[in-house]
Amino acid sequence: MAALTMRVLVVNAGSSSLKLRLLGPRDEIVAAADVERWSTGDPEPVVVFVKEHRSIDAVGHRVVHGGTEYDRPVLVTPQIREHLARLADLAPLHQPRALAGIDVAASVLPGVPAVACFDTAFHAGLPEPAATYPVPAEWRRRWAIRRYGFHGLSHEYAAGRAAQLLGRPLTELRLVTCHLGAGASLAAVSGGRSVDTTMGFTPLEGLVMATRSGSIDPGLPLWLIEHAGLSPAEVTEGLERHSGLAALAGGSGDMRDVLAAADAGDPGARLAFDVYVHRLRREIAAMTASLGGLDAVVFTGGVGEHQPRVRAAAGLAYLGLVVDDRRNAVTGQDADLSVPGSRVRALTVVSREDVVIARQTRRLLAGG
Ligand SMILES: Nc1ncnc2c1ncn2[C@@H]1O[C@H](COP(=O)(O)OP(=O)(O)O)[C@@H](O)[C@H]1O
Ligand SMILES: CC(=O)OP(=O)(O)O
Ligand SMILES: [Mg+2]
C-alpha cells in the first residue's frame, strides 16, 4: 500500500500516561484512547485498542531515548529493539514502557511495520556549547556523555504550530517551547532548530516534575551515597519517583491534586507550586538567553494546556510579554494568550506528538 495513505497507530508511552491514537492519511483522528495515571506501565490497553480498530497499516512508537545512534526515525527490527533496550538505564521511567509497547504491538499486529520515533532526535543538532557537559574527556568519549534533550516530538510540533498561530515563518522565530506534563522540559527553538533545552543526559535534569527532582546540586546524590549510607539504587528511586511535586506536596505529583490541596490551605502543596513556578521562570529566562531574544513562549503538555495559573505565574512581563487574564483562561485548545500589542506573545498549543510520529512513520515507510 502507498505509505503516504497509511492508517497509523501511534503508541505514546509517557511516564504518567499511555496515549493511543489511530490517525488517518490526513492525520485525522480515527480513534483515540488515553490511560491517565498509568502507574503500572502495563501495555495491555494496546491489545484492547487493536482488537477494536482493525485495519492498522503501520505503528509509530514514541521512544524517549535514541542515544547517539538514532537521530531520526528507524524501522523496528529485532536488532534495533535490542539496541533500544540497552539505553533503558538512561530513561528508567520511559524506555522499558516503550519497549513493552513495541513488543505487545508486534505480537497483536504481526507483519505490520513498526517505526521508532525519538524524543532525542529534535535536539540532535544542539550547538556544541549547549550539548557539552564539563566533565572528564574520557567519560564523554567512553559513554557518549552529552546533553541529549527529550520531548523533542512535542517541542517540534509546538514550534511549528506556534508559527502558524503567529502567521510568521518558523525560520524567523525565536521560541521557548514549554512542555509541561508529568515530565517537563523547555526548548530554545531558533529558526525551527533546537539550540538549547533543559533536560540532559537523562530526562531527570531541568525543571521540577511530577515525581522527578529536576536539577539539583550534583554533590547532593554523591553526599547521600558517600556519607549518608544510601545505596545508589535508593538515590535513583528517590530522585526519579519520590521527588518533585509529589515530594513537596507530600502525596500526588499530579498538578490537579497539588492545586486542589494548595487551595485547601495545605502549606506543602503551596510550596510545591511555588518551587515549580520559580524554576520554570528561571529556566525560561535561561532559554531566552540562549536564543538572544524572544518572540513567543509556547505552553504545551498536560499542565501547559490546562493550567492558566501556571502560565500566568511564569511571570514574563519583564520580557515584554503580557498575558491577558481572559484569554489565558482557555484550556485544551490552541490559542494566543497575550494582550494585543504585547511585544512577546504567549501561546498554548495542544501537544500533538501523535501527528509528528504518524508523519515520521509514513515518511520512513515511503522511503523518504
Ligand atoms: N485539567 C488539568 N489541569 C491541571 N493539570 C492537568 C490537567 N490535565 C492534565 N494535567 C497534568 O498533566 C500531567 C500529565 O501531562 P501529560 O502531558 O499528559 O503527561 P505525560 O508526561 O505522561 O505525557 C498530569 O500529571 C497533570 O498534572
Ligand atoms: C521525557 C519525559 O519526561 O516524558 P514524559 O513527560 O512523557 O514523562
Ligand atoms: Mg507526554
The predicted structure's pLDDT at residue 177: 98
Q: What amino acid occupies position 340? A: P
ipTM of the complex: 0.96
Closest CA to 123 of 115, 113, 133, 131: 131
**Backbone φ and ψ of 281, nearest 5°:** -60, -45
Nearest C-alpha to atom 4 of ligand 1 is from which residue?
Answer: 256
Ligand 2: residue of 12, 15, 118 to mutate (most ligand atoms within 8 A of CB) is 15
Task: Provide, rounded to the nearest whole percent, the portion of the chain with pLDDT above 90.
Answer: 92
Does ligand 1 have an atom closer than 6 angstroms to the CB of 206?
Answer: no
**Catalytic annotation on 119?**
yes
Please give the annotated binding residues, written as ranges: 62, 179-183, 254-256, 302-306, 353
Phi/psi region, residue 265 (left: phi>0; alpha: psi -120 to 50; beta: rest), is left
Nearest C-alpha to atom 7 of ligand 2 is from which residue?
Answer: 14
What ligand has the least distance to the C-alpha of 94?
2
Residue 368 pLDDT > 80: no
Residue 2 pLDDT > 90: no
Write down the catalytic residue from 57, 119, 196, 354.
119
The predicted structure's pLDDT at residue 69: 93
Check if the beta carbon of residue 212 is closer than 8 Å to that of residue 183: yes
Range in 152-166, 179-193, 312-326 with the lowest mean pLDDT: 312-326
Does ligand 1 have an atom closer than 6 angstroms to the CB of 354?
Answer: no
Domains 3-147 and 152-348 alike in fold: yes
Does ligand 1 have an atom closer than 6 angstroms to the CB of 181?
Answer: yes
Phi/psi region, residue 44 (left: phi>0; alpha: psi -120 to 50; beta: rest), is alpha
Domain 152-348 has CATH 3.30.420.40: yes
Q: What amino acid occupies position 67? A: G
Q: Residue 336: in which H helix or E strand, if any?
A: strand 335-336
Q: Where are the domains of the chain?
A: 3-147, 152-348
Between CA 54 and CA 51 the distance in angstroms is: 6
The predicted structure's pLDDT at residue 361: 98
Quote the pTM value: 0.97
Sign of CA dihedral 79, 84, 89, 90: positive
The predicted structure's pLDDT at residue 250: 96
Q: For residue 362, what pLDDT band results from cuts at 50, 70 and 90?
A: very high
Q: For residue 3, what pLDDT band results from cuts at 50, 70 and 90?
A: confident
Beta pairing, strands 174-180 & 296-300: parallel
- Helices 255-263 and 267-291: angle between axes, nearest 10 degrees: 130
Does ligand 1 have an atom closer than 6 angstroms to the CB of 303?
Answer: yes
80 CA from centroid of ligand 3 (Å)? 23
Work out the burial of residue 277: count CB atoms within 10 Å of its CB; fewer than 13 is exposed, 13-18 middle, 19 or more buried: middle
Nearest C-alpha to atom 18 of ligand 1 is from which residue?
Answer: 302
Q: Which atom of ligand 2 is nearest to the CA of 301?
A: 6
Nearest C-alpha to atom 8 of ligand 1 is from which residue?
Answer: 302
What ligand has the least distance to the C-alpha of 203?
2
Chain segment 76-88, per-residue pLDDT in tens = 999 999 999 999 9
What would the CATH number be for the domain defined by 3-147? 3.30.420.40
Check if the beta carbon of residue 117 is closer than 8 Å to that of residue 361: yes
Q: In the chain, what's the furthest Cα-to-Cα distance? A: 61
Between CA 344 and CA 322 the distance in angstroms is: 8
Task: Dump the DSSP string for 284-322.
Answer: HHHHHHHHTS-SEEEEEHHHHHH-HHHHHHT--GGGT--
Does ligand 1 have an atom closer than 6 angstroms to the CB of 16?
Answer: yes
